[in-house]
Amino acid sequence: MSEDLWILGIHMTKFGKHPERDLVDLAAEAARGALADGGVQMHQMGLMAAGCLMMANAGVGQQLQKQIGQTGIPVYNVANACATGATALRVAAMAIKSGEVDYAMAVGVEKLAGAGLLGGGGRPKTDDDTWQRRGRYGAVAPLDGRVGTETMPGVFAQIGMEYGYRHGGTSFELFARISEKNHAHSTLNPLAAYQKRFTLDQIMNDVMIAYPNTRPMCSANCDGAAAAILVNGSTLKTLSAEQRRRAVRVSASVLTTDPWEEACQVLPDVNTLTRNAAIRAYEDAGIGPADLDLVELHDCFATAELVHYDNLMLCEEGGAVDLFESGATSRDGSMPVNVSGGLESKGHPIAATGIANVWEVATHLRGEAGDRQIEGARVGLAHVIGLGSACGVHILERSAA
């Protein structure tokens, strides 16, 4: 069994609107880019894990092979809400660590430009207040408007408000300042869907989506893809010095779901499974939060970023407000968070996001992030969460070669 796992090549498309291109076109660009980045070819891949929610049952991986090479390898089509890309990466990682293959490809792709607000539920709704036993969900009435909400902006608004209730210090302005930080970061990221700086006043006075999140504080639905090539350590040793130098070590790859809690049977709990994933990832990597040089976390909404400071243990429990107020999470701070601009600016083509977050961290560890480079970055963490719920955490380390 191989204990060493490396990212040999990784690539993401520009996120945004691509009306002239379909899902397979975007996935092919990312996959070919990752192969070229790693200096390898499709015939060397032993497995592909392909993530896409829009084509969850249509075999996007098999369709992708028709454009980049059909070699007869196993293809796993995965769908795991916003953690789909991280799940594809985890599938590829497990195949390598089991010793089944030497190389594996993970791809995430989505076309969501113009899709509107996601997460309305996906189950038939009724205005009838009368309880009816009907299928798996017949034991409870629809939640929306009765017990909080099931729409994503509302869910994460509630999560942010709950954090403020428990620990204090939050305000509409505080959450808006988190968004201001991320939009400022995005101006240095040429692959972000939006590269525009917003003033605090612009953010606070934009369209209110779900208090305390206005439109600039919400992740942007868009088109995009990302792909990664993974390799085991023994194979990496046979490759060129340049390939070894640019390889990024995956020191932890963790996927969690909710443990049973009474509350999570009614409303999503993004906290417990994220904290559980972070604890295991730090243990697997043999590091602590203080060792991180940068973090890409799942800021689907500004309120989510604050809460995940705490869930990822970037601060003491209850100390997320103080961490942000200290300036630590800015690009020039001691714990830079979402230097890419985050989902609020970079965009959120759901299945691509988990790998795109890994791409951002890996690019800094390679010293290839250009104007937004975190100097001397050696260790980074990428995090995503999909309600349902699933959480992926990957810890990456710079090559010592």
110-114, 235-239, 298-302: which has the minimum mean pLDDT? 110-114
- Domain extent listing, the chain: 5-115+222-249, 152-215+252-398
Q: Do domains 5-115+222-249 and 152-215+252-398 have the same CATH topology?
A: yes
313-332 in b/e form (b: 16+ CB < 10 A) is: bbbeeebbbebbeeebbbbe
Cross-strand partners of 10? 228
247-305 per-position pLDDT tens digit = 999 999 999 999 988 766 667 789 999 999 999 999 999 999 999 999 999 999 999 99
> Is the four-CA dihedral 182, 291, 362, 255 of positive or negative sign?
negative
Give residue 145's pLDDT: 60
- Residue 279, class by beta-carbon neighbours within 10 Å (0-12 exposed, 13-18 middle, 19+ buried)? middle
pLDDT higher than 90, residue 143: no
Are the C-beta atoms of residues 304 and 159 closer than 8 Å to each other?
yes
Cross-strand partners of 78? 51
Is 82 a known active-site residue? yes
Longest dimension (CA), the chain: 68
390-398 and 5-12 beta bridge pairing: unpaired
Q: Does domain 5-115+222-249 have CATH number 3.40.50.720?
A: no
57-104 per-position pLDDT tens digit = 678 999 999 999 999 999 999 999 999 999 999 999 999 999 999 999
pLDDT higher than 80, residue 353: yes
Query: Beta-carbon neighbour count of residue 163 at 10 Å?
Result: 23
169-228 per-position pLDDT tens digit = 999 999 999 999 999 999 999 999 999 999 999 999 999 999 999 999 999 889 999 999
Are the C-beta atoms of residues 175 and 158 closer than 8 Å to each other?
no
pLDDT higher than 80, residue 118: no
pLDDT higher than 60, residue 366: yes
pTM for the structure as a whole: 0.92
For domain 152-215+252-398, which architecture applies?
3-Layer(aba) Sandwich (3.40)
Mean pLDDT on 359-378? 98
Catalytic residue among 183, 185, 308, 348: 348
Confidence bin at 114 (pLDDT 50/70/90): confident
Catalytic residue among 11, 18, 52, 82: 82
379-386 and 390-398 beta bridge pairing: antiparallel
- From residue 143, alpha-carbon distances to 69, 130, 137, 138, 401 in Å are 46, 13, 11, 12, 54
Cross-strand partners of 82? 80
Triad 18, 349, 124: Cα angle to 5°: 110
The Cα–Cα gap between 299 and 310 comes to: 13
Give residue 104's pLDDT: 98
294-296 and 379-386 beta bridge pairing: parallel
Give residue 120's pLDDT: 39
Is 52 a known active-site residue? no
Structure tokens at 172: 């509409």
- From residue 387, alpha-carbon distances to 65, 66, 144, 224, 261 in Å are 29, 32, 16, 20, 15
Mean pLDDT on 122-129? 47
